[in-house]
Amino acid sequence: MAQIREIKKRTKAVGTIQRITKTMQMIATAKFTAAVQRAKATKPYTETIRELVAELTSAAGEIEHPLIDGPPERVGRELLIVISSDRGLCGAYNASVFRTAIRHVRTVREGGTDLVVETSGKKAVGFFRFQKVPVDRMHAIGDKPQYEAVEAIASDVIAAFTAGEYDAVRVAYMRFESNARQIPELLQLLPLRPATLESAADAGEKTGGTANYEFSPSGPELLGALLPLAVKSQLFQAFNDAVVSEQIMRMVAMKAATENARDLKKTLTRDFNRARQAQITTELTEIIGGTAALE
């Protein structure tokens, strides 16, 4: 009898878990739909800004700018921004980003360069605390990145980089490619890599986007306005991609948990029926045995 009560309690608990994970899957699906719309809406703007900067850089010739050339002298310090989630239950999302980040941390430190770490998301704070890596600054962006908040972070980063506080600025995040493919990536935010600008210029040529420019105001002045905008839009796109990837992985994880709970519930129901049948058989045997003893 005790075994039957235990199985009934477990079945009830598994049923509750199944309802919770199903609800979380539905919530993640709704958040994913909104997040992917934001990410897809901002991506063309980000790519267009990058292509425009590449074309202007190519057309204007040799132009020096601190966001492209970096500080005049190396200071032996880099900045790493790690974008994680505030909540768990999203599969391998955080673990993949953290592996990419901690690998870079160890590589930089082995090379004798000082590394400053900034995080977005509570999970990253806990991870780096466990790894005994100090976190210089924590950003609270949430599930709906606002451009104003990301712009403030980018402005601080640009100011520090221009002032020569860092040799490079990188972002560890999960890049969204499709619903079936999300890639942990280490993005070099600053200095803007010439290879990236050249590839953007090549893409503009293939799409017929190149043109002969007459600069008014001058090319350096235009780039002085466009380069910070390119950095800000690229960082904003990284946050949007990270949110989309998080919701996709949470959907997948909660769907798998719901299916596992359903299978476990079936197993427990079968065990309950067997235990109940054995109990009934035992009771019938006792009744028949007692009747035979009375005769």
Residue with the larger pLDDT of the pair 207 and 97: 97
Residue with the larger pLDDT of the pair 99 and 2: 99
* Distance, CA of 131 to CA of 108 (rounded, Å): 15
Mean pLDDT of 6-32: 93
188 is written with which tokens? 């070099």
Mean pLDDT of 284-291: 80
pTM of the model: 0.84
Mean pLDDT over each residue of the chain, to the nearest integer: 86
Q: What pLDDT shows up at residue 189?
A: 93
- Give yes or no for residue 212 having a pLDDT over 90: no
100 is written with which tokens? 């990419």
Instruction: Name the band, by pLDDT with cuts 50, 70 and 90, for residue 201.
Output: very low
Report the candidate in 254, 257, 239, 250 with the shortest Cα–Cα distance to residue 38: 239
Instruction: Name the band, by pLDDT with cuts 50, 70 and 90, for residue 263.
Output: very high
Q: What pLDDT shows up at residue 226?
A: 86
Q: Using an 8 Å Cβ cutoff, are 171 and 186 in contact?
A: yes
Q: Tens digit of pLDDT for each residue in 128-159?
A: 999 999 999 999 998 899 999 999 999 999 99
Mean pLDDT of 42-59: 83
Mean pLDDT of 159-187: 93
Q: Domains in the chain, ordered, with CATH?
A: 27-251 (3.40.1380.10)
Q: Using an 8 Å Cβ cutoff, are 83 and 239 in contact?
A: yes
Q: What pLDDT shows up at residue 2?
A: 63
158 is written with which tokens? 């640009």
The percentage of residues in the chain with a pLDDT greater than 90, rounded to a whole number, is: 57
Instruction: Name the band, by pLDDT with cuts 50, 70 and 90, for residue 97.
Output: very high
* Distance, CA of 180 to CA of 193 (rounded, Å): 29
Among 4-18, 63-77, 203-217, 261-275, the range scoring the smallest mean pLDDT is 203-217
- Give yes or no for residue 215 having a pLDDT over 90: no
Q: Mind spelling out the 3-state secondary structure of the chain?
A: CHHHHHHHHHHHHHHHHHHHHHHHHHHHHHHHHHHHHHHHHHHHHHHHHHHHHHHHHHHHCCCCCHHHHCCCCCCCEEEEEEECCCCCCCCCHHHHHHHHHHHHHHHHHHCCCEEEEEEECHHHHHHHHHCCCCCCEEECCCCCCCHHHHHHHHHHHHHHHHCCCCCEEEEEEEEEEECCEEEEEEEEEECCCHHHHHHHHHHHHHCCCCCCCCCCCCHHHHHHHHHHHHHHHHHHHHHHHHHHHHHHHHHHHHHHHHHHHHHHHHHHHHHHHHHHHHHHHHHHHHHHHHHHHHC
Q: Using an 8 Å Cβ cutoff, are 128 and 135 in contact?
A: yes
**The sheet that has 168-178: what strands, in order across it?**
137-139, 114-120, 77-83, 168-178, 181-190
Report the candidate in 115, 80, 83, 67 with the shortest Cα–Cα distance to residue 231: 67
- Give yes or no for residue 8 having a pLDDT over 50: yes
Residues 6+ apart with CB under 8 A from 195: none
Among 10-24, 84-98, 99-113, 194-208, the range scoring the smallest mean pLDDT is 194-208
